[in-house]
Amino acid sequence: MTQDELKQAVARAALDYIKPKIDEESVIGIGTGSTANYFIDYLAEIKAQVNATVASSQASADRLKSHGIPVFDLNTVDEITVYVDGADEVDPSLALIKGGGAALTREKIVAAVAKEFVCIADGSKFVDQLGNFPLPVEVIPMARSYVARQLVKLGGDPVYREGVVTDNGNIILDVYNFMIPGPRITEQKINDIVGVVSNGIFARRPADILLLATAEGVKQIKAQ
């Protein structure tokens, strides 16, 4: 199977996973990226059962609306029943690297509000240790050089993602050559740099369950 076919398979499995959990009171959190896009398209098949969603990016909100699925402002909901999103890397504790699509801050906010976070990924994303994928860091534009110098002190090689402005009006630094043996500590250390809005390590709020698409089928993996 191609990577794209695996993404479709896991998005379909996510729909089956959430269906029994949702009712007319439920709010579904929607992620960002190509895997999340497949999930949105499948969700449209049951849109009569979907009363509310919250999107983690403008792009996902636009896609949901194009299907006629209602999108709410997060400030108008108390709780998100279940959040479905992809990832760039997932480790066995279900800590993640996210932000390949530059939506990491809104994704982190939606994950924080969600009762259950379902990560959907193809097999290539599952790793023993986070860090081969360059770590996205969202930064206030005026702090770009300062934050980059601090990231070098932490051992990484930050690269400005040219031409990208986040939904929050900020820039992204991608940190290369930066293996992450202690994701919780590193997430906090980077957040402590003044000018950082958030970083793509999701360890303090990891996924609750991983649906992982492999050639043998979609596996359900709980944190080890």
Which residues lie near ligand 5RP (CB under 6 A)? Answer: 31-35, 85-88, 98-104, 107
CB of 131 to ligand 5RP, least distance (A): 15
The least distance separating ligand 5RP from the CB of residue 187, rounded to whole angstroms, comes to 15
Q: Report the chain's terminal Cα–Cα distance, integer Å.
A: 27
Minimal distance in Å, beta carbon 188 to ligand 5RP?
20
The residue whose two tokens read 């930064």 is 139
Which of 86, 206 has the CB closer to ligand 5RP?
A: 86
Query: Among residues 45, 79, 89, 107, which one is catalytic?
Result: 107
SS3 helix, strand, coil % of the chain, rounded to 5?
35, 30, 35
- Nearest of 34, 23, 43 to residue 121 by alpha carbon: 34
Nearer to ligand 5RP, 152 or 159 (CB): 159
Rounded Cα distance between 24 and 127, Å, is: 37
Is 24:14 a contact under the CB 8 Å cutoff?
A: no
Shortest Å distance, C-beta 31 to ligand 5RP: 5
Cβ-based nearer residue to ligand 5RP, 15 or 51: 15
Report the nearest approach of ligand 5RP to the CB of residue 149 (Å): 25
| Of 57 and 186, CB closest to ligand 5RP | 57
The helix-helix angle for 34-43 and 3-18 (nearest 10°) equals 50
CA distance 82 to 181: 28
Q: In this structure, are residues 224 and 128 in contact, taking their beta carbons and an 8 Å threshold? A: no
Q: How many residues does the chain have?
A: 224
Q: Which is nearer to ligand 5RP, 35 or 76 (CB)?
A: 35
The question of whether 107 is a catalytic residue gets the answer yes
- CA 134/CA 114 separation, integer angstroms: 26
- List active site positions: 107
